[in-house]
Amino acid sequence: MHTGLSVGAAEKEITPPVGAQMAGSLFPRPAKGVCDPLFIKAIVLESQGIRLAYLIFDVAMLDQDTGNRIIKAINTRTGIPADHIIWSCTHTHSGPISIEGVFPDDVPEPTDRTWLATLASIAADCVAAADRVKVPAVMTRTRGYQNDVSHNRRLHYKDGREINTWLLNQGEENIQCVGAAAPIDPEVGILAFADTTGRMLAVIHHFSLHANSLGGNAFSADYPGIVAARLRERYGPQVISLYMPGACGDLNPVRSHREIGNALADVIINRLNNASPISDPVLLGACRRVLTLPLRDFNTDQESRVKASQWDPAGQDFFRKSQASVRRKGRIQTEAVLSAWHIGDTAFACFPGELFVEHGFRIKQESPFAWTFPLELSGGYLGYLVTDQAWTAGGYESLLSSVGLIPPGGCTRMVDENLSMLAQLKQALPR
């Protein structure tokens, strides 16, 4: 079978020193150990002279400036066009703080800038290594479902407000809950790449769930790390497992990271056992656009929304200070980097923030490709990308803060633009 596709994959460790400050909460905390190492993982694909690279970082998020440095380093090292280099983050809450300016001004900057500055060169090494080991390959695309590891973390109340599930019973609740604010996305997307002898090279797996199931004060890749270990047990030490975070800004885990990782690995292995490689030529394509979007009005009084969120006094104070810090910066607009790309008839739409699940469903439904997976935390970090309903109803993700920068209209525009890019890529394919 010859599909014209060549594939190589590699990984490089990026675990910071113990003592570095950890992400994943309103307040920095020092790492006291390493549960499992953190990596950059990369896959390079080539078909008909077009090369494309995808990287996933075991960190919570990266900003646009860091992402641009990474892309420039990879482009300089490998010659892969900048628009064909796509990166994302696992969003592990057990990783290091990897972006500056998230905390209020009165908190000393906790980011390890020396460690952060190494990511571009390590990423370039990783992609160059993947590019060097490319071999003719076949692709298997399949999907499964995992329904019992996640929940929508926002509950809707009779008076129209929405409260996050970890903040329940923190205040007087005399209004009845009428259900989850939105659904989950149980689909597990799977793309596997093997050489012509059947030896597995890499597995891309897409799932919509926050990687915050571990907690504690030790570095960990969370459940994607468990999936990676299981796939190596099954397919050999050479296989690279590349996680893709779906639209999970409002989706949280309900089981431990080991249980989630094992449950997803079971689905992936089972589906691959029952799937066949694609025999058609696998064509590649990618495009990138940069939008200018207005920021939320940070002069808005949100005291009633802060109190209604049911954060404790320390949490409420964080959001008051965060709003004030963003307001002092005086910015009224920002850039949003969007990417759309495809591997054969499977497409990906990338967003620079934490995308709510219903935006992801719209991408899946309206994309012209047979298969499309929304990809968050790619190209930069603009905080939560919420729906109109979530903005009106309040809750943590809708508060004005350093993780709540973009108004709902801006989020909708990003979805519209990504659908436009997907249509452009689809039109460019031979009929």
pLDDT digits (tens, 9 = 90+) for 104-162: 888 888 999 999 999 999 999 999 999 999 999 999 999 999 999 999 999 999 999 99
Position 171 pLDDT exceeds 90: no
Mean pLDDT along residues 201-218:
95
The domain in which residue 63 lies consists of 5-155+163-169+178-428
In angstroms, how far is the first alpha carbon of the chain from the final one? 22
Q: Specify whether the backbone of 249 is left (phi greater than 0), alpha (psi in -120 to 50) or beta.
A: alpha
Average pLDDT score over the chain:
96
Mean pLDDT along residues 391-395:
94
How much is the pLDDT for 175? 85
Position 1 pLDDT exceeds 80: no
**What are phi and psi for residue 195, nearest 5 degrees?**
-75, 180
Lowest mean pLDDT among 242-246, 404-408, 419-423: 404-408
Lowest mean pLDDT among 54-68, 168-182, 312-326, 398-412: 168-182
Mean pLDDT along residues 11-29:
95
Position 238 pLDDT exceeds 80: yes
pLDDT digits (tens, 9 = 90+) for 332-372: 999 999 999 999 999 999 999 999 999 999 999 999 999 99
Q: Which two tokens stand for residue 297?
A: 């009005």
Domain tally, the chain: 1
Position 173 pLDDT exceeds 80: no
Write down the residue that tokens 């519209």 correspond to: 416
Please answer whether residues 360 and 208 qualify as being in contact, where contact means their C-beta atoms are separated by less than 8 angstroms.
yes
To the nearest 10°, the Cα dihedral for 379, 384, 390, 393?
-160
Share of the chain above pLDDT 70, in %: 99
pLDDT digits (tens, 9 = 90+) for 295-323: 999 999 999 999 989 899 999 999 999 99
How much is the pLDDT for 37? 98
User: In angstroms, rounded to a whole number, what is the distance separating the alpha carbons of residues 303 and 333?
Assistant: 23
Share of the chain above pLDDT 90, in %: 91
Mean pLDDT along residues 182-192:
99
Mean pLDDT along residues 171-183:
86
pLDDT digits (tens, 9 = 90+) for 259-284: 999 999 999 999 999 999 999 999 99
Position 172 pLDDT exceeds 70: no
Mean pLDDT along residues 54-60:
98
User: In angstroms, rounded to a whole number, what is the distance separating the alpha carbons of residues 17 and 40?
Assistant: 16
Q: Which residues contact 369 (CB under 8 A, 6 or more apart)?
A: 342, 345, 346, 347, 422, 425, 426
Q: Which two tokens stand for residue 279?
A: 């025999």
Position 410 pLDDT exceeds 80: yes
Q: Which residues contact 358 (CB under 8 A, 6 or more apart)?
A: 182, 247, 387
Q: How confident is the model at residue 169 (pLDDT cuts 50, 70, 90)?
A: confident
Q: Which two tokens stand for residue 300?
A: 């808005």
- Residues shown for the chain: 431
Residue 313, amino acid? P
Residue 285, amino acid? G
Mean pLDDT along residues 83-95:
98
How much is the pLDDT for 394? 94
